[in-house]
Chain A
Amino acid sequence: MAELNLLEAINQALDQAMANDERVYIIGEDVGQRGGVFRVTDGLHAKYGEKRVIDAPLAESIIIGSSIGAAMYGMRPIAEIQFADFIFPAFNQIISEAARMRYRSNNTWEVPLVIRTPYGGGIHGALYHSQSIEAFFTHIPGLKVVAPSTPYDAKAMLLAAIDDPDPVLFLEHKKCYRLIKGYVPDEHYTVPIGKADIAREGSDVSVITYGMMRHYAVEAAEMLAGEDISVEVVDLRSLVPLDRETIINSVKKTSKVLVLYEDNLFGGYGAEVAAIIAQDGFEYLDAPVQRLAGLDIPAMPYSTPLENEFLPTPSKIADTLRDLVNY
């Protein structure tokens, strides 16, 4: 057991997976000698060699497309897309190929592929180094999408993703990388994909969220505790498949719910969560389902005041929750 940040926890999971299974290899831009632009693959090139930690040409579609082929051949590729903002050249390979392979071949082929990618903002990444991309991918049946936000979950869910026989998009929030620390068991362990986590128990209002927003929601909950408002924070962790039961149970308990996400509001992943609550949790609700999310502008701007204006922050979350509790 050691205290690690999120990035170190992911590095440890990669190391253990590669040590345990010769079929596992890493491919991506700068993942080799440099150890990745965020240093997530640091040390692995030296330990496992350039045949298993492959510096790819600067071309995302072949990073994913070749990984699909190798996975079908029986390998266990872990592909890194350097920034989630640059995953779109590989969009077709992910949604038309990886996600549909099992279905279209009537279960004769499968693609056990993990795609890791840093996403999210609040780090002065501007339009093209800050995006949340989950809504594009959670729409596609056949692809699992996870977004762990603690070091414990990141290690466990990455190991689960590598064991998974289906393609998994593994989202790593850039702001969590070094900021979020926690105790991580040394051994190989997993958290099943598809189970949410109660990040904080509460009784007056629920926040359903994931990623960096989990931590902001907990901060807001701490602020409100002093005002005698008890906030429950549900960290979804796994976006597809979604743990509907934990969401509805929390709604039953508090009767008021805020769906919180960092992506643009309109058509974001939280819209689906809100729809599920409206449909399956209607009779438990004492207030309309609320959403708080990023602004509907093309992306997060660079300059600090603009960036802060885009993002839900702990104080904006607290304000929204106050209003909701008083509904």
Chain B
Amino acid sequence: MEQERDQSRLLAMYHTMVLARSLDERMWQLNRQGKAPFVISCQGHEAAQVGAAFAMRPKHDWIVPYYRDLAMMLAMGMTPREVMLGLLAKAEDPSSGGRQMPAHYSHRALNIVSHSSPTGTQVPHAVGIAMGAQMRGDDIVVWTAFGEGTSSQGDVHEAMNLAGVMKLPVIFFCQNNGYAISVPQHKQMGVENVSDRGPGYGFPGITVDGTNVLEVYEAMSAAVERARRGDGPTLIEAKCVRLTAHSSDDNDRTYRSPEDIKAMRTRDPIASFEHFLRDEGLLDDAKVAAIRAEIKEIVNDATAYAEAAPLPDPSTVQKYVFAE
């Protein structure tokens, strides 16, 4: 029984990672076709996000994400159709009804909180949500994500400091892909690991291999347990790779050498997890082909649905400045 549950969880993780990758790749195609003005990718971060997601309780715990969190969104229950509605800025887009740029996720029913573009402003919100939960005695965990570049922002420091003071149930999840657009980590901070800072705020900081979904899952499970026990926050740094340019408006060949890009490709989290699952006997060629075919159908359906969906009505542009 136990083993079956574990096996089905491993396959579910794999499924979500491949779905995220396939959706992401489709987004770039739509961008090249001129149908989507902007894409910002999750490629290379799938293991970090899926490992984190599977340690939480969807619709119960709260998610305060950033723009790379596509795989997290899918794992928490956002549908591929909803994702594509956002990419194409359609009226039904649950994140913003086409008001924000793509990848500015929000989904009220899933406790996924709206975030904006200035980096790091979401992190204090996670702390406030946790304060509300602590005051009410709710046993939720709040997960918030940001890049290693964003860890330089004052908001991130202020947020961690208060979370440490109040022992709040927050998990600060830094996805360190080594770059903030073009600026490498060594120009961003004087420490080797973002997680080194955890103890400076009075709670543990842990670095994990963000391309290893199971390693992330384990660290996250411990942090979730700690938060639910009332023992306070954890800073988890997942070392990831950014397999694409920063966004569809960037060209990373202007600052990354071909060797670097090649080396990074050997750390593809999906390839390594697939390898692991094959070794465990959970996947073989036929199973992989079946999963990929199924996912292709899902991505096709999401694309077709979103392409056919109506755009926002221009007469709505002045709605919802204040409560109506």
Which residues on A are within 8 Å of B, measured CB to CB?
25, 51-52, 56-57, 59, 61-62, 64-75, 77, 89, 92-93, 96-97, 100-110, 141-142, 144, 165-166
Contacts and interface: CB of A to CB of B under 8 A. Distances in A.
Given A65-B127, A66-B162, A108-B108, 10 more contacts: A57-B165, A70-B129, A72-B129, A74-B132, A103-B320, A104-B116, A108-B94, A109-B106, A166-B322, A166-B323
Contact of B128 (A65, A100, A108): A65
A41 B142 CA distance: 30
B133 A93 contact: no
Contacts of A144: 322
Given A56-B162, A57-B161, A70-B131, A104 B125 contact: no
A253 B74 CA distance: 62
B126 interface: yes
Interface string B142-176: 00000000000011001101100100000000000
A105 B114 contact: yes
A130 to B, nearest CB: 25
A97 B165 contact: no
Contacts of B96: 104-106
A66 B321 contact: no
Interface residues of B, number: 42
Given A68-B124, A104-B100, A110 B323 contact: yes
A72 B54 CA distance: 24
Nearest to B94: A108
A73 B129 contact: yes
A93 B126 contact: no
A71 B100 CA distance: 21
B121 A65 contact: yes
17 contacts: A62-B127, A62-B161, A65-B125, A65-B155, A66-B162, A69-B113, A69-B132, A75-B131, A75-B135, A89-B154, A92-B121, A104-B96, A104-B114, A105-B108, A108-B114, A109-B114, A166-B322
Given A62-B155, A107-B319, A69 B128 contact: yes
B158 A73 contact: no
B99 interface: yes
B118 interface: yes
Contacts of A62: 124, 127, 155, 158-159, 161-162
A11 B322 CA distance: 27
B145 to A, nearest CB: 15
Contacts, number: 131
Contact of B114 (A25, A51, A64, A101): A101
A104 B93 CA distance: 12
A59 to B, nearest CB: 4
A144 B321 CA distance: 11
Given A101-B114, A102-B322, A108-B114, A66 B127 contact: yes
Contacts of B161: 57, 59, 62
Contacts of B108: 105, 108-109
Interface in B286-324: 319-324
B77 interface: no
B239 to A, nearest CB: 27
Contacts of A107: 319-320, 324
A69 B144 CA distance: 12
Contacts of B155: 61-62, 65, 92-93
Contacts of B162: 56-57, 59, 62, 66
Contacts of B324: 107
A107 B95 CA distance: 10
Contact of B124 (A65, A104, A110): A65
A224 B275 CA distance: 89
A57 B158 contact: yes
A107 B130 CA distance: 22
Given A57-B162, A106-B97, A142-B322, A70 B128 contact: yes
B129 to A, nearest CB: 4
A184 B244 CA distance: 63
Contacts of B135: 25, 51-52, 70, 75
A73 B162 CA distance: 17
A102 B96 CA distance: 9
Contact of B158 (A61, A97, A103, A105): A61
